[in-house]
Amino acid sequence: MAKDIKQLKVSAIRNGTVIDHIPANNLFKVINILGLDHIDNQITFGTNLESKKFGSKGIVKISDKFFVDEEINRIALAAPEAKLNIIREYQVEEKKEVIVPDQFSGIVKCVNPKCITNNEDVKPKFRVISKKDVSLKCHYCEKITDQEHMVFI
């Protein structure tokens, strides 16, 4: 079968989580948001891979790591269409999608330089006002940060 001979660009893992369909230019943001640069697990990733949907995509495979939904939804801003595969003994045990939360704190900076979160030690906090092309309303200064202007912390 064609599927069996398809070569994997990023080698398979035995147990763990595969995060697929990350926009290639946001791959390192996703790695950052999940703190993958600070953990000891084996991680393999690929970027600028061919994707019908995005043109090019990134993929991350993390061995022996299973995220809780709350953790994983944090990447929704950088990769709203990411798909997760939970792997056990080389088999896909479960598939998950990312859910854009209604509100959250941290992760991105408020776009407004005059906002308190950019002037004092205050953690940014947002309400999500659009989930499609994610746009955020600052809980403090009430200004809107759109996808184009998102700067990840």
Partner 1 sequence: MRNKSLISINDYSKEEILRVLDLAGEFENNPSQDILRGKVIATLFFEPSTRTRLSFESAVNRLGGKIIGFTDSSSSSATKGESLKDTIKTVSNYSDLIVMRHPVEGSARYASEVGMVPIINAGDGANQHPTQTLLDLYSIRKTQGTLNNLNLFIVGDLKYGRTVHSLLMGMAHFKATFWFISPKELRIPNEYKLYMDQKGLKYHEHTDFRDIAGEADIIYMTRVQKERFSDPIEYEKTRNAYLLKSSMLKGTKGNLKILHPLPRVNEISADVDDNEKAYYFTQALNGVYTRQAIISLILGLKN
Q: Which amino acid is at 43?
A: I
Contact indicator for 86, 104 with CB cutoff of 8 Å = no
User: How many chain residues bind partner 1 (CB under 8 A)?
Assistant: 17
Residue 112 interacting with partner 1 (CB under 8 A): yes
Contact indicator for 61, 49 with CB cutoff of 8 Å = no
C-beta of 152: minimal distance to partner 1 in Å? Answer: 20
Q: Is the Cβ of residue 116 or residue 128 nearer to partner 1 in the bound state?
A: 116
C-beta of 107: minimal distance to partner 1 in Å? Answer: 17
- The residues pairing with 126 across neighbouring beta strands, listed in sequence order, are 104, 138
Stretch in the footprint of partner 1 (CB under 8 A) among 10-18, 35-43, 94-102, 140-148: 140-148
Contact indicator for 76, 99 with CB cutoff of 8 Å = yes
Question: What is the Cα–Cα distance from 74 to 153, expressed in whole angstroms?
Answer: 12
Q: According to CB under 8 A, which one of 139, 147, 149, 152 is a site residue for partner 1?
A: 139
Q: Is the Cβ of residue 56 or residue 130 nearer to partner 1 in the bound state?
A: 130
**Residue numbers at the binding site for partner 1 (CB under 8 A):** 110, 112, 114-117, 119-122, 138-144
